[in-house]
Amino acid sequence: NQVWAPLQENASAYKAGHTLNANPISCAASNAVLRYLLDHDLVSRAREVGDYFLEQLRCRLQHDMVGDVRGLGLMLVVELVRDRATKEPFPPGWAVSRQVEEAAFERGLIVYPCGGSVDGQAGDMILMAPPLIITKEQVDEFVSILDGAIAAVAERQRPVR
């Protein structure tokens, strides 16, 4: 309300935009991207390759700390949990998704760590949003690297007996 009230009181027009908003060059680039998407049917391709990607993740990521793998098209997520059966999250201070991000990066893969998916603080996930032109061979390499990164982090998360 502190931000919105002065705008209302002064009958100010609210303008939300970005630096490149309505810039002719940006608009031309956007049109070219949309044309490429349509000409190469990348939406259908994302569905097809995304289904393959999801299948590979579900088949290959058999770690106890993988609680779920889900997604649509080429927007996919791996949920990381302390207990697979109960879906209990790791303590937020452990930053498990960041650990997986770092382990993946060390192996040449960039993934997006996400936290707070359970209650705003706890809950670790790895988000994947590869380029729409990714090939099945590249998906295989991606999954292999991610599998190794999760395995490395899982090894560190094992309770001491």
- Distance CA(102)–CA(55), nearest Å, equals 24
pTM of the model: 0.79
Please report, in tens digits, the pLDDT of each residue of the chain (161 residues total). Answer: 677 777 677 766 655 666 666 678 888 998 999 999 999 999 999 999 999 999 999 999 999 999 999 999 999 999 999 999 999 999 999 999 999 999 999 999 999 999 888 888 889 999 999 999 999 999 999 999 999 999 999 998 765 44
- Distance CA(100)–CA(103), nearest Å, equals 5
- Distance CA(158)–CA(161), nearest Å, equals 9
